[in-house]
Amino acid sequence: MKLSANLGFLWADRPLPDAIHAAKAAGFDAVECHWPYIFDIKEVSMALAETGLPMLGLNTDRGDTSVGENGLSALVGREADARAAIDQAIAYAAALNVPNIHVMAGFAQGDAAHACFIENLIYACENAAQHGMTILIEPLNSYDAPGYFLTTTRQGLEVIKDVGRANLKLMFDCYHVQLMEGDVSHKLKALLPHIGHIQFASVPTRGTPDQGELNYAHVFKVIKGLNYSAPLGAEYKPSGDTDASLGWMKTLAG
Ligand SMILES: O=C(O)[C@H](O)C(=O)CO
Ligand SMILES: [Mg+2]
């Protein structure tokens, strides 16, 4: 099983180029990140070249985090900011050969927010297609992100249908899906054609995957059985030093 280190959480105390080297040394096959924009593209590119690790994904900017924004694309009246964030993500991703961009919806509700999200996603998909990129949308759980627009895979499928573009896929984060819906094994099977990337962490604590209510030994077997061979994103929050948290790589994913 191939693994991608999510550097938004793993080695998050280090500059991104250093975190990429740490992921390589730990045996990861790929990396992904959240918001890499403060880091110089040339330095990140050099770290990727030196390690040979692909960067699989990054997120659009969240907006003004000082007032709690968590994405812009479903916010009515913020279309210009949302599209600037999409442009920024595509440019950064294009420079690093990153194939997936997670377009973050933000805190919003209702039909107007849905329509706004659809229009911004069409914009994102059409621009991303010119670079051969996929746009991802990710349902987030309502404990961590109360009021976030996109919360379930069912809602994600409605959005995908309404956008109607082949390069729009679901980020299936087992952690969020288990908290909001459960039934992770059946959902993975049913949604496979729509899944662009899979992430994992323990439930409910978002720690290493060898603990908690979701049995990842089983989930990883299910994923293997689906012939899904892309790296799975380790997006958990280590309770201390990241290197000391990696025992699960041998016991669960070895
Ligand atoms: O929180 C998550 O699960 C994400 O994958 C993310 O990209 C930021 O919210
Ligand atoms: Mg996630």
State ipTM: 0.97
152: exposed, middle or buried (C-beta count within 10 Å: 0-12, 13-18, 19+)? Answer: middle
Q: Taking each helix axis as running N to C, give the angle between helix 79-95 and helix 41-51, from 0 to 180 degrees, rounded to the nearest 10.
A: 40
Residues in the chain, pLDDT under 70? none
**Mutation choice for ligand 1 from 173, 202, 205, CB with most ligand atoms inside 8 A:** 173
Ligand 1 lining (C-beta closer than 6 Å): 34, 59, 102, 138, 140, 173, 176, 199, 235
Nearest CA to ligand 1 atom 2: 140
Q: Ligand 1 centre and the CA of 153: distance in Å?
A: 14
pLDDT tens across 121-155, in order?
A: 999 999 999 999 999 999 999 999 999 999 999 99
- All domains in the chain, ordered by first residue: 3-251 (3.20.20.150)
pLDDT tens across 220-242, in order?
A: 999 999 999 999 999 999 999 99
- Quick one: CA dihedral 215, 187, 30, 141, positive or negative? negative
Instruction: Provide the pLDDT for residue 253.
Output: 83
Other Cβ atoms less than 10 A from the Cβ of 147: the count is 12
Yes or no: say if 120 and 110 are a contact pair by the CB < 8 Å rule.
Answer: no
Instruction: Provide the pLDDT for residue 109.
Output: 98
Q: What is the pTM of this model?
A: 0.97
Counting ligands in written order, the one closest to the CA of 104 is: 1
Helices (H), 27-110: 41-51, 79-95
Q: Strand (E) positions, 110-236? A: 134-137, 168-173, 195-200, 232-234
Active site residues: 138, 235
Q: How far apart are CA 161 and CA 20, in angstroms?
A: 36
Q: How far apart are CA 124 and CA 86, in angstroms?
A: 6
